[in-house]
Amino acid sequence: MSDRIILAIETSCDETAAAIIRNGHEIVSNVVSSQIESQKRFGGVVPEIASRHHVEQITIVIEETLEKANMQPSDLTAVAVTEGPGLVGALLIGINAAKAFAFAHNLPIIPVHHIAGHIYANALVQPMQFPLLALVVSGGHTELVFMKEHGSFEVIGETRDDAAGEAYDKVARVLNMPYPGGPHIDRLAHEANEGVEFPRAWLDDTYDFSFSGLKSAVINYKHNMDQRGEEIIPEQVAKGFQDSVVEVLTTKTVRAAKEFNVKQVIAAGGVSANKGLRSSLEQAFEKEKIPFTVPPLKFCTDNAAMIGAAATYMYEAGVRGDLSMNGIPGKELKSWI
């Protein structure tokens, strides 16, 4: 069989990204243009600003991707693009660029779900083993996804309010840490021996998550300390918060892995770069003797290589988009087989 070479484009949030993936796992080139420096001014991602940056960067990023790969459009098998979920105005830049490019070169288009992309980041590192359980944690998502085989997704648990990464950003703001807050909290948490005691939201036997109560508990704690004229110790607050998040995520992931009798557990999404969460999951699954993997950091945060990896399997399964494709900000994760 000839090589399947996919140009993938991802613009769902604040990274303008493109990549070329050969046969679903080989990264031929991978370019990410981040807006973090610009968005820092606003303490978070402003959708209108994100869209404006994407339109400035999009052709530059795609060209760099082709040049690094030393490829021409005629070398490509298909064009893949993130269809959703994400910021609608941001998604539309990648989608319309992908459609125009596909039209210009008469290539098929593959619409990819952003979370499927995060999960398939693992296919860039090693072949996926099924049945598989994925914990997807990022600024926009906290989900447990069960996969029987390639292209089959069952969301068995999700957050009922804030995403884990969102809670991290909000708590970071309480502690006067700059955006994005996750890495700062993670670092601070490791500098304390003891954490402030915060609650854990177990939500009974479900695999769902909730982080807004925890976030409020942190805010209340700071407020009470302020009223008493006492100084909080940021390291201890960070550790207390992170311990609560990590314990709930780890416990539920382990329980689901056992119940579904999976052969592999993977973590995906920006928050899976968190050292505290990573080591807790690693230890737990070592004990359970279930293989556990996290892709390297650059494939945890948003990138197009992961979109290209997922798209290759979709291409094989015959999934195609067309020129009327639109951005779907709240797109659900559905099986493609």
Binding of residue 16 to other proteins (CB under 8 A): no
Of the candidate residues 34, 89, 160, 179, the single one contacting other proteins (CB under 8 A): 89
What residue 46 binds from Zn ion, other proteins, none (CB within 5 to 8 A, per partner kind)? other proteins
Comparison of 166 and 235: residue with beta carbon closer to Zn ion: 166
Tokens representing 19?
């990549």
Task: Tell which phi-psi region holds residue 23, choosing left (phi > 0), alpha (psi between -120 and 50) or beta.
Answer: left
Among the residue ranges 38-46, 146-154, 177-185, 256-264, the one whose residues contact other proteins (CB under 8 A): 38-46
140 annotated to bind ligand = yes
Binding of residue 40 to other proteins (CB under 8 A): no
Tokens representing 313?
């399997």
Binding of residue 302 to Zn ion (CB under 5 A): yes
Q: Where would I find the H helices in the chain?
A: 36-39, 47-69, 88-105, 114-120, 164-174, 182-189, 212-227, 234-259, 275-288, 297-300, 305-316
Beta bridge partners of 33: 16
54 annotated to bind ligand = no
C-alpha to C-alpha distance for 325 and 328, rounded to whole angstroms: 9
C-alpha to C-alpha distance for 54 and 11, rounded to whole angstroms: 7
> Torsions phi, psi of 270, nearest 5?
-55, -40
Of the candidate residues 49, 71, 125, 232, the single one contacting other proteins (CB under 8 A): 49
Comparison of 138 and 242: residue with beta carbon closer to Zn ion: 138
C-alpha to C-alpha distance for 122 and 310, rounded to whole angstroms: 10
Number of residues this chain uses to bind Zn ion (CB under 5 A)? 2
116-155 mask for Zn ion (x: CB under 5 A)? ----------------------x-----------------
Of the candidate residues 41, 223, 258, 320, the single one contacting other proteins (CB under 8 A): 41
Q: Taking a C-beta distance cutoff of 8 angstroms, is the pair 155, 333 a contact?
A: yes
Binding of residue 70 to other proteins (CB under 8 A): no
What residue 257 binds from other proteins, Zn ion, none (CB within 5 to 8 A, per partner kind)? none
169 annotated to bind ligand = yes
274 annotated to bind ligand = yes
* Residues placed in the known binding site: 114, 118, 136-140, 169, 182, 186, 274, 302
